[in-house]
């Protein structure tokens, strides 16, 4: 029986590896196809390339519209990330510590923006923010993007808290530390990898968001994804490919940073006392 099971595992391992590599290629290749087009000398998004040129990167960096869109994204995304990280971390800590009726329902509500269709969220926020005079404002966009980022922070911090030893907080309390001091000096440094990972997910969600922004933003608050979306409909040229390539590079950096944080978190868990 053991011999038969071992044989099946040996046969399944290469099949699974081929399937995994095939799925990776299927997901990555369509994204990477746009990168060579950003260096195309010609004015069309098509293969074969007519020559190598940095023309479209110069066009991107020299355009007031693209730079304004990039500046808006770099204003809205960090602000939304800070708000989502603070609210999501506090919510995760509260849910991890407390035991009460409806805890599962509260968790479901917190992560619902991750599950619900973005169009429904965008329409709901449009009518809600219209009553509060938050349409066509940076504050409205920051609040909306923060709401979309909170679920990612809650999930990552909650997962990190599962490996947190509460005896550390109890020891701090027994030595006279206030709850806020114990959280800031004891708990937060230990769960920092999870908090930072959640913040990176929230930043990526905000920086890449376009549907909600289309409903809530005015032309003055047009973000980089919104500018790309408008360019696809109005004036399709390789400048969009240059912007997309820069966003791909930024996403790759975020992924590498999250992987480093994941490994660091595993090391911290392994170093903590049993």
DSSP string, 71-114: HHHHHHHHHHHHHHHHHHHHHHHHHHH---TTHHHHHHHHHHHH
130 pLDDT above the threshold of 80: yes
- pLDDT band of residue 273 (cuts 50, 70, 90) is very low
- What does the pLDDT read at residue 266? 67
128 pLDDT above the threshold of 60: yes
Give the CA dihedral 247, 215, 117, 245, nearest 10 degrees. -10
- What does the pLDDT read at residue 265? 64
Q: What is the mean pLDDT of residues 231-242?
A: 79
User: 8-63: per-residue pLDDT in tens?
Assistant: 667 777 787 888 888 888 888 878 888 888 888 877 777 777 778 888 888 888 88
In this structure, what DSSP letter does residue 52 have? Answer: B
For residue 52, the cross-strand partners are 40
For the entire predicted model, the pTM comes to 0.81
- What does the pLDDT read at residue 68? 92
- What does the pLDDT read at residue 9? 67
- What does the pLDDT read at residue 172? 82
User: 205-218: per-residue pLDDT in tens?
Assistant: 998 888 999 999 88
Residues near 25 by beta carbon (within 8 Å), at least 6 away in sequence: none
* Residue 103: closest CA among 113, 95, 112: 95
Rounded CA-CA distance 46/56 in Å is: 14
- What does the pLDDT read at residue 274? 41
272 pLDDT above the threshold of 60: no
- pLDDT band of residue 7 (cuts 50, 70, 90) is low
**Cβ-contact 149, 202 below 8 angstroms:** yes
For residue 40, the cross-strand partners are 52
Q: Coil, strand or helix: which one is 40?
A: strand
Rounded CA-CA distance 154/140 in Å is: 22
Q: What is the CATH topology of the domain spanning 64-271? A: MetI-like fold (1.10.3720)
User: 179-225: per-residue pLDDT in tens?
Assistant: 888 888 888 888 888 888 899 889 989 988 889 999 998 888 889 88
- pLDDT band of residue 79 (cuts 50, 70, 90) is very high
Quote the distance between the C-alpha of residue 184 and its chain's center.
24
Q: What is the mean pLDDT of residues 74-81?
A: 94
* Residue 147: closest CA among 84, 58, 190, 207: 84
User: 144-170: per-residue pLDDT in tens?
Assistant: 999 999 999 999 998 888 877 777 778
Does 216 or 2 have the greater pLDDT score? 216
Burial environment of residue 243 by CB neighbours within 10 A (0 to 12, 13 to 18, 19 or more) = buried
Cβ neighbours of 268 (radius 10 Å): 18
- pLDDT band of residue 269 (cuts 50, 70, 90) is low
- What does the pLDDT read at residue 5? 61
3 pLDDT above the threshold of 60: no
């Amino acid at each position: 029986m053991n011999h038969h099971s071992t044989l099946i595992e040996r046969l399944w391992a290469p099949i699974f590896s081929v399937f995994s590599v095939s799925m990776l290629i299927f997901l990555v290749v369509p994204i990477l196809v746009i990168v060579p087009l950003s260096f195309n000398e010609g004015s069309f998004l098509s293969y074969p390339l007519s020559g190598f040129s940095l023309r479209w990167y110069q066009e991107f960096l020299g355009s007031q519209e693209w730079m304004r869109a990039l500046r808006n994204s770099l204003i809205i995304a960090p602000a939304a990330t800070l708000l989502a990280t603070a609210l999501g971390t506090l919510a995760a800590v509260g849910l991890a510590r407390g035991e009460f009726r409806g805890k599962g329902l509260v968790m479901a509500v917190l992560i619902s923006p991750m599950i619900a269709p973005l169009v429904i969220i965008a329409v709901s926020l449009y009518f809600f923010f219209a009553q509060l005079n938050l349409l066509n404002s940076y504050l409205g966009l920051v609040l909306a993007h923060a709401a979309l980022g909170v679920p990612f922070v809650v999930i990552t911090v909650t997962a990190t808290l599962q490996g947190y030893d509460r005896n550390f907080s109890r020891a701090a309390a027994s030595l006279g530390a206030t709850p806020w001091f114990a959280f800031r000096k004891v708990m937060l440094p230990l769960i920092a990898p999870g908090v930072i990972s959640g913040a990176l997910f929230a930043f990526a969600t905000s920086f890449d968001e376009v549907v909600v922004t289309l409903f809530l933003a005015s032309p003055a608050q047009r973000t980089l994804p919104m500018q790309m979306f408008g360019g696809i409909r109005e004036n399709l040229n390789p400048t969009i490919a240059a912007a997309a390539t820069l966003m791909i590079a930024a996403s790759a950096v975020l992924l590498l940073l999250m992987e480093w944080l994941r490994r660091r978190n595993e090391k911290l868990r392994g170093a903590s006392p049993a």
